[in-house]
Amino acid sequence: MHPRFESVFAQLPANLQSALHPLLDVDHFPAMLSAHEVALLRQQTGMDDATVALALLPLAAACARPAISHFHVGAIARGISGNFYFGANMEFPGTMLQQTIHAEQSAVTHAWLRGEKQLAAITVNYTPCGHCRQFMNELNSGTDLRIDLPGREPTTLGDYLPDAFGPVDLDITTRLLDEEHHGFAPEGDALSEAAIAAANRSHAPYSNAPSGIALEMNDGTIITGSYAENAAYNPSLPPLQAALNLVWLSGYDSQDIVRVLLAERPDAAITQWESTLAVMRSLGCSNLDRVLLG
């Protein structure tokens, strides 16, 4: 079991500990539970999905990397597939606060990059901030998305974000978690092809500047991230943050990254290059290159 889970694991109900231990006792727990695994937890604990998600929040919060705030937020995205995806807040000392990943962004993007098609609910241990409410409004589940918090009755995103501004106001019909493909042809080595594939599935309907990134780990694993744009612009999540989110959720560390490749269009209205350089330098990684999409 990864050391980050040890202290909080001991605080979970005994029947949940017994059910979870075989799932967590791996080198790189993927910070997600398949629908089958969730069903086993329900069977062994007698809890329903919502109660299981609430009980798992301490594990999600243990994934946080709050180097600046020292404030742990955990979230769990529940997909219509039945899968559970962990999320937590991630911070980057030495860079702008805008580079921060919020827990709800972490869980949503985690689900998206794992191939989830739609979310049924988000469970979080603190009330979603305005930034996260706006980010979640980009989802194809819309304002019907269920929000669960400890000690409160379930509500919806629409209750947290009345009279919402979002994609519909800008005539955008493709939403985050919808399937997208921007048509860029694969080329180069495996890392290059992975970065291009990540750019192809990115959600960038406002800037028309799709981008993706691929990180090679020291064990040969390739982890990718896609750009997730937002109608309100500022809650947009860069591809690097999306990838680093999976790196850290999966139990890797920054020093495990040996090579980084960003894929973006050279003529796009915005670029991810400079901010990617800044964040990776702050993490001590300089082996960074770019493939230009044509």
Domain-wise residue ranges, the chain: 27-170, 190-292
The encoded tokens of residue 267 equal 């003529």
Tens digit of pLDDT for each residue in 87-130?
Answer: 999 999 988 888 899 999 999 999 999 999 999 999 999 999 99
153 is a catalytic site residue: no
Q: 3.60.15.10, 3.40.50.300, 3.40.140.10, 1.10.1270.20: which CATH number matches 27-170?
A: 3.40.140.10
Query: Count of H helices and E strands in the chain?
Result: 10, 10
The yes-or-no verdict on residue 294 having pLDDT over 90 is no
Residue type for position 222:
I
Confidence of residue 15 (pLDDT cuts 50, 70, 90): very high
H-only helix segments in the chain: 3-9, 14-24, 35-45, 49-61, 103-113, 130-136, 157-160, 190-200, 239-249, 273-282
Indicate which residue of 6, 104, 187, 274 is catalytic: 104
The predicted pLDDT at position 192 comes to 98
CATH homologous superfamily for the domain 190-292: Cytidine Deaminase, domain 2 (3.40.140.10)
Higher pLDDT, 28 or 65: 65
Instruction: Report yes or no: 112 and 176 within 8 Å, Cβ to Cβ.
Output: yes
The yes-or-no verdict on residue 151 having pLDDT over 90 is yes
Q: How far apart are CA 25 and CA 28, in angstroms?
A: 9
pTM to 2 decimals?
A: 0.95
* Domains 27-170 and 190-292 belong to one CATH topology: yes
